[in-house]
Amino acid sequence: MRAKEILTIILVISLTLFYFIAPRFFAGKEVSRTQAALHKMAPIKAAINAFILNTGKLPNRLDDLIDCPEGLENSWAGPYLKESQLHDPWENKYILEYGYRLQNPGADGIKGGDGKNADLESFTGLIKQ
């Protein structure tokens, strides 16, 4: 066989393998990102709890954990997090609702969806007051 024919055979085999293996590889990567998104919620929840302990109030938004909200200068002990900690593995910002419900909109960054685009939700363990 000539070198050109051998290269053609190698190329065909490589493309065939890539066609069957790549979807499994990338699906596993998305599962890992989803797990990482859930894992990254823990320090945010801890920061929310520290904010509440220090100020006696629920944060209005996640940025309250980084920059002192007006009127809380005497009790705020932050910053509680770095800006980068407020973003998921897809670079979407986590969402805080009612000061105690932490949400992640999934890979697409839009509420709702299935699979890798499904929303993730976690509560801080506190009850809205």
80-111 pLDDT tens trace: 999 999 998 888 888 888 877 887 776 766 67
Tell whether the model's pLDDT for residue 115 goes beyond 80: no
What is the C-alpha separation between 16 and 11, in angstroms, rounded?
9
Instruction: List, for residues 31-86, the tens digit of each pLDDT value.
Output: 687 888 888 888 998 999 899 999 999 999 999 999 999 999 999 998 999 999 99
Q: 79: cis peptide before it, omega within 30°?
A: yes
Residues 6 or more apart whose CB falls under 8 angstroms from that of 82 comprise 66
What domains are there in the chain, each with its CATH number? Answer: 36-123 (3.30.700.10)
**pLDDT over threshold 70, residue 28:** no
Report the percent of the chain where pLDDT is more than 90.
30
Residues 6+ apart with CB under 8 A from 124: 45, 48, 49, 100, 101, 102
Q: pTM for this structure?
A: 0.65
Between 43 and 28, the more confident residue is: 43
Provide CB contacts within 8 A for 128, sequence distance 6+: 58, 98, 99, 100
